[in-house]
Every structure is written in C-alpha cells, then in structure tokens.
Structure 1
Amino acid sequence: MRFLWTLVALALASLHSGLCCLIILPIATAQELPVQSSTEQRLVELAQSVPGTIGYHVALVNGEVLYSHLGDEAFPQASAIKIPLLMEVLAQREERQLDWNALHPILAKHQVGGSGILSEFTDGGSQLNTADLCTLMIVLSDNTATNMLIDLVGMESVNRRMDSLGLRKTRLNRLMMDTAASARGEENVATPQEACRVMRLLAQGKFIDPEISNELLAMLRKPKSTAIRKAIAAEIPVASKPGAIPGVATEWAVVELPGQPYVMIFMGKEGSENEFNQVFTEMAKCIHNRLIEKE
C-alpha cells in the first residue's frame, strides 16, 4: 500500500538520557479513501432523477448488504403490506387458529375499489375459502380479499407477529382504500431494511419452517408485471409484491439468481408512482447486471 509518509518530530527528550523519539506516521493518500462504486453512484443518480423520495435496500440472501439508501426510513407501503398479512394468515393456520378451507361470504361491508375483482360481486351471493382469498390478495392484489383477511386474523395480530420478528417499523395500520384513515395519517408502513429482512427470512426458509416459507414464496412467484420483473430475464424466478397508490410506489422482491439469490427493496413517496416504477426498473437492471458481471 502506498502511503504519504510524514515525519513528526516529537521532542520527547528524556531528562536522563537526552534521547529523542522520531515517530513516523502513515497518512493515506486521496486515492486510498473510500469511494462509491460506479453502481452506487448510478443508483443515487437514479434515485434523485425524479421528484419525491426514494429509498432502497439490496442484500444477498445470506445477509451481505450490497446497496442501501434511506434504509431505515419509513415509507407508505400500499399493497406491499400484504406480505406481512399473508405471513400472519399462514402462521395462524399452522397454529390452528383458522381454517384454511373455511368459506367466507363476500359481503358489501368488505367491498372496496382499487385493484381486484371481488368488489364487483353481489352482496352475499358468493363464498370463497381462506386459501382463495390469499391467492386473490397476492396475484390480483384484490383489496376486498385483503380486507376480509384483515378482519379474519386481526390487524394487531399482524403487528404483534412483526414485533416477534424484530420488525417494529413494519405496521399494518388501516384497511385497504380507507381514505379517511389515510387522511388522519394512519398509514401502512415499513422501511427498506425491514422489508429486506422479511424477504431474506422467506428465502432462507426461516419463517416458521422451510415448507411454509416456500409456500409463501410460491404465491409471490405467480406471474405479474412489476418494475423489478421487467428488469430480470424471464428464466430467472422473481418472488415479489409491488404496491402503488397516488404518490407512492413500492416493491419487495427475491430475485432467485442461480448461485447468488438476492433481495431488492424499492420504496418511493411524495412523487409520481409511475415515475417511481420507471426508476425502479432502471435501478433493478443496474443492480442485476452488476451481479451477473461478478459471477
């Protein structure tokens, strides 16, 4: 290693010996100071290229953090909060607190707009079991199915489950499409770091057990168009859940790159959800291409 050596003559003369110590201290040159990689610089540029605030956290499934920006900041989650809800549903099923095959009537009190199809059903005219509600919630991001599941397991149960996993900033605070609650500041939130921990937990097979973790990931792998999915070659599985409401966009994803699976979390607030998703796709391409180059 190259050093710029400076001689610091400290007259530490001994009263008895008259000797003097010459201390030579190494000082690192500018070239040796930590610098951002070109990938890190590009990610920051992309994050700053649109109005609003973008946070992200990218890590290998083994826990090695690759890139992070505003990783500990809370962001509204839109539909990405449905992953913690699904975790609670599966946990209660395993604890025999709910019946996976029990039928639930589709009632007007649960029906809300936004994404999904159940809002178009007649009041009380149809029933779906718990498993089908979960599928609709994840694949179609059905808000009515989501609200039915929230009523089934309890909002506080979801938050207690997150607490038990050490995820104290991941919070389900309101029903889907509850604009009044949102106006009061009651928002469903998480941080990029905590979302990454959730997805790593699933990818490692450590949520309850490997079978349950894989069951949840299988639901998240079901085909859908997302910002991250657009950036990754079709032959590479991606288990993800996006979310978007006015001013907000998010996506939690496990990219199952052979030999080096990794997690990408993107969150944006106070901007345009469309612009955020365009940036997320470019960021995902940048990260993925860098990882492929390093193989």
Structure 2
Amino acid sequence: MRKSNRKKQQKIRQRWALIFGILFLVTCFITFSTMKLMKGRQVQRAVTAQSVKKEVVDETSQTSQETSETSSVQSESVESTVESTVSTESSSATPEPKAEILDDSGLLANAAQVSYGVYYFSDDAYISNQNSISTPSASVIKVFIMSYILENNLDMQTMVNGEPLGELTRRMIQNSDNSATNAIIDQVGMDQLNSYFQSSGYMDTQLQRKMLDEQAISMGKENYTSLNDTMAFLKKVYQNKETYPYASMLELMQGQQIRTKIPSKLPADISVANKTGELSGVENDIGLVLAGDEPFAIVVLSNGVISSEGMRNAIGDFTLIALR
C-alpha cells in the first residue's frame, strides 16, 4: 500500500516538474520575445530620432544659408545704396567740366563756308567746327613753300632772278609778295613742291598754279589747303620753335606786315606769327598767338565771303574771344 502511494506521489511530482519546466520555457520565450521587441522598438526609435535630428539640422542649415544669403543681399543692397548716394553726392559736388565753346556767329554770318580751329598748347584743348574740307588757300599756301625751303635746308644765298633766295622767302611771307613767290616756284618746281606736301602729310594742300595766274584761273586751276593741314603746320612750328628750321619759320611769320585779321584786335604786347590769304570771295588767316602762359594756334579759312571787311573784323573778334 505504501509502495503504491509512493509511486503515485512520484508521478505527481514529475507532472509538476514537467509543468514547471513548460512554464519556465514559456516564460523564457515570452521574456526573450518581449526583449527583442523592445530592442527593435528602441532601434526604430533611434533611427527615427536620428532621421528627425538630420532633418532638423538640414532645415536649420538651409535656414541659416537662406538667412546668410538674405543678409548678404541686404548688405549688398545697403552698400549699393550707400555707394549710389556717395556717387550722387560726389557727382553733385564736382560736376563734369563742360566743353569750351567759342562764339563763331560773326564768322558764319560773313561767309557761306567757314573752317576754323583753335588749339591751346597749355592743356592740349582743341576747339573746332570740324569742317576740314579742301578750301582755296590764296596766299596761305606760301607757308608750305617756306617750309619746303627751310626743311630741305636750301642755300638762302642762292641767287634767283638776281635776288638771294632768303630775301625772296622773307618777302613771300612778310609782305605776301606774289612775284617773289612765283620766282621761288619756278626755281623749285611745282611738281617738287606738291610731292613734298604729300610726303609731309599735308594731304589737302595742292599747288595747281602760280600766284595771280589769270590764264590758269580761267582754266579752273586753283591752289588748295585745309583746316587739318594748316593746323598741323602751326603745331609743328610751335612745338619745335627752339630748333632750326622751325625757329626761322616762326621768326619770319612774326615779322608779318599784314595785320588786318588775327592780330587786329589783340593787345599790342601780344606777339603773333601769322600768314594771311585773300582772293575774291576768300578771306583766310592762320597764326600762332604767343599769349604768355596760354599760347594758341588759330586757323580761319573761308569761301563765299559776303563782305571782306566784315569777315576780317569777324576774324579779329573771334581771335579776341579765343584769348584766355
């Protein structure tokens, strides 16, 4: 009986041991599963948090960049506004110098065609009506003949028609002597002179006839020059006035006896080196006005002159206006 009871109790213990074992296994499984699930959730949360953090950082960076760009644009805008204001104030304080203008109404009122220019050596300023067309030169062409003689260093003692070349040259310039000029043209040759004019850059200056050659005039032949050529000649003389042969050219022109145009209304103490020229309907004068600190070259060439006296007065007035 006791033996039967022992077996019965042993079976009961085995059952409970089995039950406890199964419960233990179930508990372990549940615990393991719970821990795995919790770990997965923690990982997911970490990933989510990292993603959120990255988005926040990106948004913050983008916002910072946009703020920086906005600040930069605003800064540039402010700087631009300041610079514009400063520029405007500076512009208002120091306006651009206006171009110098000379009253040419007197010249234009007395001739159908006028070419004029005034060049100031002190500040390289040039005022002109930019009308450098080929114009009848009249006796102004004589300065180019003088230039040929002196630049080629011709012997001034050479006898031409019984007179020294130097004396003929002086009368040609200072007295506008046509006979002396024609003697020089015959001596040198018209073709030689024209070749010299071209090679020297006086492209509009041309000698087609001797002085007062009525036959050549009736054939339509004329002597020509231009504003550009005469101004170039005057500038060359002045800029080389200390050296031969230009010093001699200046001296000859300073001895000019015909003073009815450029020098006519200037103060007596101002030295002028000029050369006039006139024909029917033509009044020309070119010269250097040696006015202290403001020397200048002046050219007035005209054609279709209405009144010779009126044009001569107008040239005198214009020169006085040009005097600084």
User: What TM-score, normalized by structure 1, do the two folds share?
Assistant: 0.72
Equivalents in 2 of 1:65, 1:36: separation in Å? Answer: 10
2:266 aligns with: 232
- CA contact 1:57–1:71 (8 Å) conserved in 2: no
The offset of 1:47, in angstroms, is 2.5
The offset of 1:176, in angstroms, is 0.1
The offset of 1:158, in angstroms, is 2.0
- What is the CA deviation profile of residues 247-286 of structure 1, one whole-angstrom value per residue up to 9, with x for unaligned ones? 0011110111122221000011011333221211111111
Equivalents in 1 of 2:302, 2:240: separation in Å? Answer: 28
- CA contact 1:75–1:267 (8 Å) conserved in 2: yes
Q: 1:256 aligns with which of 282, 290, 307?
A: 290
1:77 aligns with: 137
Letter in 2 for 1:214: A
Equivalents in 1 of 2:285, 2:243: separation in Å? Answer: 23
1:267–1:132 Cα change, 3 Å? same
Equivalents in 2 of 1:128, 1:53: separation in Å? Answer: 39
Structure (1 or 2) with the larger CA radius of gyration: 2
The offset of 1:35, in angstroms, is 7.2
- Look up the SS of the partner of 1:249 in the other structure: strand
1:70–1:136 Cα change, 3 Å? same
- CA contact 1:245–1:273 (8 Å) conserved in 2: no
1:15 aligns with: none
- What is the CA deviation profile of residues 47-101 of structure 1, one whole-angstrom value per residue up to 9, with x for unaligned ones? 3222421110111236834311143111111111100001111123x2xxx4321
Equivalents in 2 of 1:214, 1:177: separation in Å? Answer: 30
- What is the CA deviation profile of residues 118-168 of structure 1, one whole-angstrom value per residue up to 9, with x for unaligned ones? xxxxxxxxx211111111111111100000001111222222222222210
- Give runs of aligned pairs for residues 163-178 of structure 1, distance below 5 A: 163-178=198-213
Equivalents in 2 of 1:179, 1:62: separation in Å? Answer: 44
Larger helix fraction of residues? 2
Equivalents in 2 of 1:280, 1:259: separation in Å? Answer: 22
Equivalents in 2 of 1:194, 1:129: separation in Å? Answer: 29
1:201 aligns with: 236
- Look up the SS of the partner of 1:227 in the other structure: coil
- Give runs of aligned pairs for residues 72-111 of structure 1, distance below 5 A: 72-92=132-152, 94=153, 98-105=154-161
- Look up the SS of the partner of 2:273 in the other structure: strand
- Look up the SS of the partner of 1:210 in the other structure: coil
- CA contact 1:162–1:168 (8 Å) conserved in 2: yes
Larger strand fraction of residues? 1
User: What TM-score, normalized by structure 2, do the two folds share?
Assistant: 0.66
* Structure 2, unpaired ranges of 5+: 1-76, 82-94
- Look up the SS of the partner of 2:264 in the other structure: helix
Equivalents in 1 of 2:230, 2:131: separation in Å? Answer: 9
2:185 aligns with: 150
Give RMSD over aligned pairs.
Answer: 2.9
The number of residues matched between the two structures is 239
Letter in 1 for 2:134: A
- CA contact 1:253–1:264 (8 Å) conserved in 2: yes
- Look up the SS of the partner of 2:119 in the other structure: strand
1:275 aligns with 2:275: no
Equivalents in 1 of 2:215, 2:169: separation in Å? Answer: 25
- CA contact 1:248–1:268 (8 Å) conserved in 2: yes
Letter in 1 for 2:110: V
- CA contact 1:56–1:69 (8 Å) conserved in 2: yes
1:187–1:238 Cα change, 3 Å? same
The percent identity for this pair of structures is 23
- CA contact 2:205–2:229 (8 Å) conserved in 1: yes
* Structure 1, unpaired ranges of 5+: 1-21, 25-31, 106-126
Name the stretch that deviates more: 275-284 or 176-185: 176-185
